[in-house]
Amino acid sequence: MPLPRPHYASGTASFFGRRSLTETEVSPEAMSRIFLKILVPGPFADGLTYHATDTIDAGIRVRVPLGTREVIGLCCGHTAPPDNIETTKPIIEVLDTQPIIDPALFQLAEFAADYYLAPLGDLLLQGIPTALRKGKPLPAPKPEQGQSVARPYPLTDEQTDAIDRVQSGFDQFNVFLLQGVTGSGKTQVFSELISRTLARNQQVLLLVPEIGLTGQMVDRIQAQLTGTLNVSHSGLADGARARAYAGALSGDTDVLIGTRSVLFTPLPNLGLILVDEEHDSAYKNQDGARFSARDLAIVRAKQADIPILLSSATPALETWHQANLGRYTRLRLTQRPGAARQVSFRLIDARRDQPVHGLTQAARMRIERTLTNGQQALVFLNRRGYAPVLLCTDCGWTPGCRHCDARPTLHRAPDLLWCHHCDHKQRPPTVCPDCGGLQLLPVGQGTERLSEALEHQFPDWPVIRIDRDTTTRRRAFETLLEPVIAGDPCILIGTQMLAKGHDFKQLATVIVADADQGLLGADFRAVEHFAQLLTQVAGRAGRHQTDGEVLIQTHRPDSEWFARIMSADYDALAEHIYAERKQYQWPPETHLALITARGPHSDSVLQALGVAAQHIRQLQSPIRILGPAPAPMERRNRQFHGQLLLVGTRTVLNWALKETGPWAYRRRGQVMFQLDVDPWDLW
């Protein structure tokens, strides 16, 4: 396939046209120039024009001057000579002999740039590993070999059916939703589909939400794989990422497994895309260009005319709805195969059975019983650190963050008041700055404190804490989990890092320490996210010989949502959520675009958004405009944040934003705009 050279023909024509009109200015040297569009890092809506004496293929990296610096850019083909053809700057160095990006990715990025109204360069460059972005040469590929171990059990009928249906659609675009309860063997379906794709000499892209949490799944896939694989994610060393990229590009790597950052990795023989836990918000890219890797994966499959399989026990409501409409093909796995058991739920009324150090009597007893039975218990608390609040018991003073409308979290070891929103850290005071009192007490529970309490209460068993603070070092996660995987009795305590994907064979009990937190979220998606999280956490239990029990500690045991979540019927729950969304005209009934603005003063931020609203209102379109309003946390990281929420159809929103934009990276005085099409968080 030829590489895209979008403006070559018309550019040449206008070049000669202009020359014959003005006759002079253009030197012969300038006339022999070839003008190229180069994507460079930075908030440029499009590529910048440079010149060279020889042609350079699209997808080749070049070194170019930019202001006073030199940067690495990506050539995206010829372009029309600019008006100032004498002043364009030359390309300093050509870094590749072969393109490092294939035409399919240009096509994908062009779609994304149009849909998300985001700079093309931002989209394409963020997908290139740092080492390559810095100009290092493309390394030799180094894929890992699969172990070709035979599958240890026969497939279930449901698995066979799902696999056959995807296979019968190889070679054409189709979106499949593999909606299978937790522990129903979705990973096995992946493995099977991978081997059938490899048998056709095609590559597979497997997207996962967070790789650190998926090591176990990668191991399982690698065990059965007859072929090669690479894993790539932002936690990997630069060189390793570049090698994975090189392998995918050259075709040496059959299976590329990675987080959202690998969506824009070239795979010339791509035959199948798999998206694990498709509902996970980690698929939303929030730094730089905002896009959903899941949604763009669907576009990539469509452009390549291949099938894509989205998998989840708790599909995003948008995905679930598409399957109901018949636009996606739903495949179900309703049973846990083999010896896996079902999970039962129990609510604990924390008003009657009051928690001591974060745990109710009922929860403690259940943990004790689990451990003496030789099994494992998981305590889920989605709040890292020691305690959410430090309180002066004399006057009621609590510290706030200097830069945010937020309370810093108290951490111990080391002693810190740490704002999780802006990362500001300070030593906790020993004396109350308001009244001079000395009684400063931590209030509430974080994982650090709860694990301390568990260690006291269960001194004979290991307590393993898994959260971002205990897993920063490379492979820390795997090391911490070793005894868990080995099946030794222990208590696991941690945040949502523990909710996803793991297959702990001896895990019998899950305690949800604070279930009230989730239901109180302000966002219209709060209930959906909470239900997904709870279902995922609960799904860790009872996966093998053991029965699973989930105990939920709550002060609001009569909330209707608990009954629905506990019924373990995700479709019934989704039906309820959908009815609410429909009534209030939220997605998936409508589409959203969020214009956010930030600046040093709240007045100017809201005023700038007011002007934006005015522009959009003047279009007299059927768009509903909510705001301008302060963001849910208005002061964040020394800046005031405001937002304007647009509700409408995709087409009208896209049109209106184009008419009035660009909004991404727009600056008005000290106010910076950002645009989020299909936002996942109204933050």
* Site residues, Zn ion (CB under 5 A): 392, 394-395, 397, 401, 403-404, 419, 421-422, 424, 432, 434-435, 437
Q: Which is nearer to Zn ion, 564 or 641 (CB)?
A: 641
Least distance from C-beta 549 to ligand ADP, angstroms?
Answer: 18
Could you tell which of Zn ion, ligand ADP, none binds residue 155, using a CB distance below 5 to 8 A set by kind? ligand ADP
Kindly tell me which of 48 and 422 has the beta carbon lying closer to Zn ion. 422
Quote the CA–CA distance of 379 and 350 in Å, as a whole number.
16
Site string for ligand ADP, 523-552 (x = CB under 6 A): --------------------x---------
Q: Which does 428 bind (CB under 5 to 8 A by kind): Zn ion, ligand ADP, none?
A: none
CB 148 within 8 A of CB 225: yes
Q: Name the binder of 185 from ligand ADP, Zn ion, none, CB < 5-8 A by kind.
A: ligand ADP
CA angle, 201 then 205 then 210, to 5°: 155
Binding flags for ligand ADP, 482-521, as an x/- string (CB under 6 A): ---------------------x------------------
136 binds, among Zn ion, ligand ADP, none (CB under 5 to 8 A by kind): none
Q: Which of 337, 428, 437, 630 binds ligand ADP (CB under 6 A)?
A: 337
- When the beta carbons of 395 and 476 are compared against Zn ion, the nearer one is 395
Q: φ, ψ for residue 484 (rounded to 5)? A: -70, -45
297 or 392: CB nearest Zn ion: 392
Q: Reduce the secondary structure of 525-572 to three states and give it as a string.
A: CHHHHHHHHHHHHHCCCCCCCCCEEEEEEECCCCCHHHHHHHCCCHHH
Decide whether 91 or 508 has the Cβ nearer to ligand ADP. 508
Element (H, E) at 273: strand 270-275
Nearer to ligand ADP, 67 or 152 (CB): 152
Q: Among positive and negative, which fits the CA dihedral 336, 340, 342, 347?
A: negative
Q: Which is nearer to ligand ADP, 160 or 472 (CB)?
A: 160
Please report which helix (H) or strand (E) contains residue 624, including its range: strand 624-636
DSSP assignment of 59-96: T-EEEEEETTEEEEEEEEEE-PPPTTTTTPEEP-EE--
Nearest distance in Å: CB 189, ligand ADP: 8
User: How is residue 447 written in tokens?
Assistant: 């994982």
Given ligand ADP, Zn ion, none, residue 434, with its beta carbon under 5 to 8 Å by kind, binds Zn ion
Instruction: Identify the H or E element spanning 416.
Output: strand 416-418
- Minimum distance, C-beta of residue 136 to ligand ADP, in the bound complex (Å): 37
507-512 and 389-392 strand pairing: unpaired
For 459, residues 6+ apart whose C-beta sits below 8 A from its C-beta are none
Least Å distance, CB 570 to ligand ADP, is 13
Give 357 or 601: the residue with its C-beta nearer to Zn ion.
601
Closest approach, Cβ 436 to ligand ADP, in A, equals 55
When asked if residue 214 is in the footprint of ligand ADP (CB under 6 A), the reply is no
Q: Which is nearer to Zn ion, 77 or 442 (CB)?
A: 442
- Burial readout 650-672 (b: 16 or more C-beta within 10 A, e: otherwise): eeebbebbeebbebbbbebeebb
> What is the 3-class SS of 107-120, one letter each residue?
HHHHHHHHHHCCCH
421 contacts which partner out of Zn ion, ligand ADP, none, CB within 5 to 8 A by kind?
A: Zn ion
CA-angle at 310, arms to 309 and 314, nearest 5°: 150
Name the minimum Å distance from CB 288 to Zn ion: 22
Three-point CA angle 469, 417, 402, nearest 5° = 125
CB of 426 to Zn ion, least distance (A): 10
Smallest separation (angstroms) from Zn ion to the CB of 389 = 13
CB of 441 to Zn ion, least distance (A): 11
Query: Which among 148-156, 254-262, 299-307, 324-332 is the span making contact with ligand ADP, rule CB under 6 A?
Result: 148-156
Q: Is position 150 an interface residue for ligand ADP (rule: CB under 6 A)?
A: no
Q: Which does 195 bind (CB under 5 to 8 A by kind): ligand ADP, Zn ion, none?
A: none
Distance between CA atoms of residues 107 and 303, nearest Å: 8
The answer to whether 242 touches 249, Cβ cutoff 8 Å, is no
DSSP letter at 454 equals H
Is residue 131 within a helix (H) or strand (E), and if so which, with residue range?
helix 130-133
Q: Which stretch binds ligand ADP (CB under 6 A): 335-343, 457-465, 578-586, 652-660?
A: 335-343
The amino acid present at 118, given as its one-letter code, is: A
Query: 155, 406, 480, 519: which one contacts ligand ADP (CB under 6 A)?
Result: 155
In angstroms, give the least distance from the CB of 489 to ligand ADP: 19
* 30 contact partners, CB below 8 Å, separation of at least 6: 85, 86
Residue 153, interface with ligand ADP (CB under 6 A)? yes
**Taking the complex as a whole, how short is the minimal distance between the CB of residue 400 and Zn ion, in angstroms?**
9
Contacted by 431, from Zn ion, ligand ADP, none: CB < 5 to 8 Å by type: none
Using CB under 6 A, which residues numbered 178 to 197 contact ligand ADP? 180, 182-188
DSSP structure string for 172-241? S-EEEEEEE-TTS-HHHHHHHHHHHHHTTT-EEEEE-S-GGGTHHHHHHHHHH-SSEEEEE-TTS-HHHH
Decide whether 434 or 482 has the Cβ nearer to Zn ion: 434
Least Å distance, CB 534 to ligand ADP, is 15
8 Å CB contact between 404 and 425 = no
Give the integer Cα–Cα distance in Å for 648 and 321.
17
- Closer residue to ligand ADP, CB minimum distance, 62 or 538: 538
184 binds, among Zn ion, ligand ADP, none (CB under 5 to 8 A by kind): ligand ADP
Instruction: Give whichever of 329 and 335 is closer to ligand ADP, judged by the CB atom.
Output: 335
The smaller minimum CB distance to Zn ion, of residues 284 and 424, is found at 424
b/e map 289-320, b = 16+ CB within 10 Å: bbbbbbbbbbbbbeebebbbbbbbbbbbbbbb
Partner whose binding site includes residue 188, from ligand ADP, Zn ion, none (CB under 5 to 8 Å by kind): ligand ADP
- Residue 626 class from Cβ within 10 Å (0-12 exposed, 13-18 middle, 19+ buried)? middle
Residue 126 or residue 187: which is nearer to ligand ADP going by CB?
187
**Which residues lie near ligand ADP (CB under 6 A)?**
153, 155-156, 159, 180, 182-188, 337-338, 340, 503, 543
